[in-house]
Structure 1
Amino acid sequence: MLREKSEIIGHHQNFLLFLQRMKTLDERLLRKPIGERKWSIIEIVGHFYLWDEFVLLQRLPYLLTGVSLPIAPSSDDLNMQSSLLARTEAVEKTFEKCIRIRKDLLHQLSQIPDEYWLIKLQINQSHLTLYEYLKGLMEHDNHHINQVKSSLRNS
């Protein structure tokens, strides 16, 4: 397997393990903001779901076809929607949805042949490889994972 593909696949596998560990935390801790004017852990988890769904349905099917990409939603709107949903639905449901969609995303990514990972693609105004695009998403995941871990250490 191509090194870049392996890196992304490994990240998603580790992310799923991270979610499984987070599922075991007390609900009060999951719903407590991680800082002043910050989301709670469950809101962070909930926001992964909507972004994974967007990537799975509105990016991956188009990226390797040369077809124009659907217009992306406003980040602020999607984040606000995901935060509200995570605050109002059962914690278990948020985790189940997030784990399910991440597994679907992992499955789809693992099906992409190695030769497509380093081809330059036009993503809006940028020219990136599929790997570079997915690495940016991985870095976003890691930013939030580090926030959660830091919050848990300080709890």
Structure 2
Amino acid sequence: MMETIESKEQLLEQFSEWISYVKKLEGYGEDVWNEEIAEGKWSLRELVSHMMLWDKYFFETAIEKIYKEETLTLQHQDFNEFNDKAMEYGKKTSIRQLIDQTIDYREQIIQHIRKLPEESYLASYGAEEPFRLPQYLKDFIWHDQGHMSQLDHFIQRHSH
């Protein structure tokens, strides 16, 4: 059986689902945003901050650099440390700002990747653990979907 290779457009389509998802969360108040999405898990606010800051990080260190034909500044991150910082950021940032930044970074990533010529999109960047855009999109779509299914359960508890 042949593995279907998703086109750039299909991947970007899936990658943009997080934007409409976050827009649906806009209607909830502070109390819901500050609640843990599941016992011992992050609050909604921290989770959205976590997703947004990974987008910001990859946009600034990889996607924008590829687009401008500059050297990538992507470095291996200590996930726990990165996520702790994201939690702190989420706690002190307004819901409005978190939503705006989430949509902004995700849209920037999508627009920049969309404009890339095919050879730039398919190229490998960096020698050690090369960065490839199709793989990046697949990894983060998987990451998005994991968090969105967690959030589905959370939202069901809050819908009337």
TM-score, normalization by structure 1: 0.84
Q: After the TM superposition, which residues 7-26 of structure 1 pair with which residues of structure 2 at under 5 Å, given as runs?
A: 7-26=10-29
Counterpart residue number, 1:47: 50
The answer as to whether partners of 1:44 and 1:83 remain within 8 angstroms in 2 is: yes
In structure 1, distance between residues paired with 2:56 and 2:9? 21
**Which structure 1 residue ranges, 4+ long, deviate > 6 Å from structure 2?**
none
- Give the aligned CA root-mean-square deviation in angstroms: 2.4
The answer as to whether partners of 2:34 and 2:44 remain within 8 angstroms in 1 is: yes
The answer as to whether partners of 1:58 and 1:70 remain within 8 angstroms in 2 is: yes
Letter in 1 for 2:27: T
Q: After the TM superposition, which residues 1-155 of structure 1 pair with which residues of structure 2 at under 5 Å, given as runs?
A: 3-62=6-65, 67=71, 69-119=73-123, 121=124, 125-126=128-129, 129-155=132-158
Q: Deviations over 1:1-27 (max 9, x none)?
A: x94211221023322111111111222
In structure 2, distance between residues paired with 1:96 and 1:68? 26
In structure 1, distance between residues paired with 2:132 and 2:121? 6
C-alpha displacement of 1:118? 3.6
Segments of structure 2 that go 5 or more residues without pairing to the other structure are none
The answer as to whether partners of 2:62 and 2:73 remain within 8 angstroms in 1 is: yes
The answer as to whether partners of 2:45 and 2:91 remain within 8 angstroms in 1 is: yes
The answer as to whether partners of 1:49 and 1:97 remain within 8 angstroms in 2 is: yes
C-alpha displacement of 1:114? 2.8
Segments of structure 1 that go 5 or more residues without pairing to the other structure are none
TM-score, normalization by structure 2: 0.81
Shift in alpha-carbon separation, 1:36–1:3, aligned structure 2, 3 A: closer
| 3-state DSSP of counterpart to 1:154 | helix
Q: Deviations over 1:114-136 (max 9, x none)?
A: 344444x2567445642122211
Deviates more, 1:93-102 or 1:64-73: 64-73
